Chains A and B, each alone.
Chain A
Amino acid sequence: QVQLQQWGAGLLKPSETLSLTCAVYGGSFSDYYWNWIRQPPGKGLEWIGEINHSGSTNYNPSLKSRVTISIDTSKSQFSLKLSSVTAADTAVYYCARGGYCTGGVCYKDHWGQGTLVTVSS
């Protein structure tokens, strides 16, 4: 049974850097893409980016300049850093596994529990 467990700071001030980590339990860590997705309160989902076991990343063009996703295969963990946060970055942040894949495009089949990150002065 695959489980994703995530953690990180829940309250940030404007201009600080958001940092979240997601640990994967069960299943292979090498065979998938690992994603971050966020959801502002009461709003829709926004894909942030993904990384595979070799460290290859893809990012949402609108966030690319502020986002870094990294991976630690020895711990089966991957992390998100989002710099220079503002109130607009307040959201529930989810980690997710890209499990069902078609030609390198992977669908998010297992999700973490979500972490609410609030940006406020």
Chain B
Amino acid sequence: QSALTQPASVSGSPGQSITISCTGTSSDVGSYNLVSWYQQHPGKAPKLMIYDVSKRPSGVSNRFSGSKSGNTASLTISGLQAEDEADYYCCSYVGSSISYVFGTGTRVTVL
């Protein structure tokens, strides 16, 4: 299975909104509402930010939201803050192999 496709980088100014796309296929993203998003700061372990396409775990800011259309999932960060500067990875369940595939990762820069 190939990695899901994400833009290498996205940037925005404080207070703005940005959206990160995650494109897969009809075998993964397109087949299941089982997409998650992880935030990773340099040298740290990833942190779960979104699951089941659009649900937030307890403690995650409501500035983070997720959606999906067809084979593409998206993560939107509204009211961008300096602390949001990190790498973001999407992840999808792959039912045919009972496995998971991550995206290529997106570096978010706060200008």
Q: Identify B89's interface contact among A44, A60, A113, CB under 8 A.
A: A44
Known: A44-B3, A44-B89, A105-B93. A60 touches B99 (CB 8 A): yes
Contact B57 A100 (CB under 8 A): yes
In the bound complex, CA of A53 to CA of B102 (Å): 24
Q: Is the CB of A111 within 8 A of B45?
A: yes
- Is B111 an interface residue when CB atoms closer than 8 A count as contact? no
Residues of B within 8 A of A100 (CB): 48, 51-52, 55, 57
A61 in contact with B93 given A47-B100, A47-B102, A102-B52 (CB within 8 Å): no
Interface residues of A (CB under 8 A from B): 37, 44-47, 58-62, 94, 96, 100, 102, 105, 107-109, 111-114
Q: Is there contact, CB below 8 Å, between A107 and B36?
A: yes
In angstroms, Cα B98 to Cα A61, docked, is 9
A111 and B99 form a contact (CB under 8 A): no
Q: Is residue B62 within 8 Å, beta carbon to beta carbon, of the partner chain?
A: no
The 6 nearest A-B residue pairs measured at CB: A111-B45, A107-B51, A47-B100, A45-B102, A44-B105, A58-B98
The residue of chain A having its C-beta at the shortest distance from the C-beta of B34 within the complex is: A105
Q: Is the CB of B45 within 8 A of A61?
A: no
